[in-house]
Amino acid sequence: MLIFEFKVKAKPIQYSGIDDAIRTTQFIRNKSIRFWIDNPKASKYDLNKQCAVLAKEFSFADELNSMARQSAAERAWSAISRFYDNCKKQILGKKGYPQFQKDCRSVEYKTSGWKLSNDRKYITFTDKKGIGRLKLMGSRDLNFYQPEQIKRVRLVRRADGYYAQFAVDVERTESTGVTGKAIGLDMGLKEFYTDSNGEMVENPRFLRMSEKRLKLAQRHVSRRIKGSKNRGKGRVILGKRHLKISRQRKDHAIKLARCVITSNDVVAYEDLRVRNLVKNHCLAKSINDASWYQFRVWLEYYGKMFGKITVAVNPAYTSQECSQCGGVVKKTLSNRTHACQCGCVMDRDHNAARNILSRGLSTVGHTGTFGLDPSNAWGVETATLVGAIQSQQVTTQNQESPSL
């Protein structure tokens, strides 16, 4: 499944129609959650049936396309099923009980309620929300795909405008030559990562670089009267600056992950639990700013696309163990050099990356020179599910990361 995004250009009344459709989506989702709370045994199909009841009861809900109403109910069921799964897995702490939504920013149509123009430059929404014909602005070309391949169309509201996303049902695969290389990655805060060859990539620290401007924008908002136009303008400016940081992180993760995957046949990386790491309030901001999880997601995506092997390994004691003799050399976070009795002296992150590579190779089951066939590299012994533990990784994985 490929996602193509375009910025849409329209009149103010059409933007108001999009906002109305988004509010209706939030209303239906929250009503579906309430229906499930009152009827705990309700199924996914019961929530879909409830959409028709809401359409008869509320005129503004009837104005939204029927499949868009079903998509809103599916969002509610997604939260419910995730809660059930967490309970079955007996996850410690909060299980993610479904909550009512207050900040919905998108509305999703399926295969009806919209129509593309012949030149694929415009899209027309045919329900009664008054959205009408929108101009698509972007560099992507939808002429390569048939309308039947477009399974979903989503309208998204962001700080800098409105966007249309198209989910195209097509498998994306590319091939590159076999490099015969394997690499281990140790993620860090001082450097973004250090690989098993000793190469280091600088941590861009996008949030830290823009923190001064963010504070000024936040101060401008907090000093304005609630509900005033100046406060609204300040919120737009603040939102745009946060959006820029988000896009910088994503762009950095995409480019770096693609480079790593195309340069190696096997990539081993740490199976980090970011949710647990950010509980350290001293490092939480820096960990979130590094965006390790997003980098991992794109590593796995490009690994699937290029037919390369990606392995997440348990990071426990990778910094303490000696990559040369296997002995344990205890260190604190302030100790940046690994010095073992066997004579091995190197940067602690370089040592950890070598241990990560060694564990990754033992999981995959390859040693020595890699004569991998890119077209069949995913046929054996690797898994790239986000959050999978090492003991669950020796399986065949033929689907994209669920986060993409």
Q: What are the extents of the domains in the chain?
A: 2-168, 182-392
Could you read off the pLDDT tens digit of each residue along the chain, which spans 404 residues?
889 999 999 999 999 999 999 999 999 999 999 999 999 899 999 999 999 999 999 999 999 999 999 999 999 999 999 999 999 988 878 888 999 999 999 999 999 999 999 989 999 999 999 999 999 998 888 888 888 899 999 999 999 999 999 999 988 888 888 888 899 999 989 899 998 888 899 999 999 999 999 999 999 999 998 889 999 999 999 999 999 999 999 999 999 999 999 999 999 999 888 888 888 888 899 989 999 999 999 999 999 999 899 999 988 888 888 888 888 888 788 888 888 888 888 888 898 899 999 888 887 654 333 333 433 333 333 333 444 444 444 333 333 333 33
Angle between helices 44-57 and 66-88 in degrees, nearest 10: 140
Q: What is the reported pTM? A: 0.80
Burial of 190 (0-12, 13-18, 19+ CB in 10 A): exposed
Closest CA to 361 of 309, 322, 299: 309
Residue at token pair 């109305």: 20
User: H or E stretch including 18?
Assistant: helix 12-38
375 secondary structure, DSSP code:
G
Closest CA to 66 of 114, 112, 131, 16: 112
Residues 9 and 137: beta-carbon distance below 8 Å? yes
Q: How far apart are CA 54 and CA 69, in angstroms?
A: 9
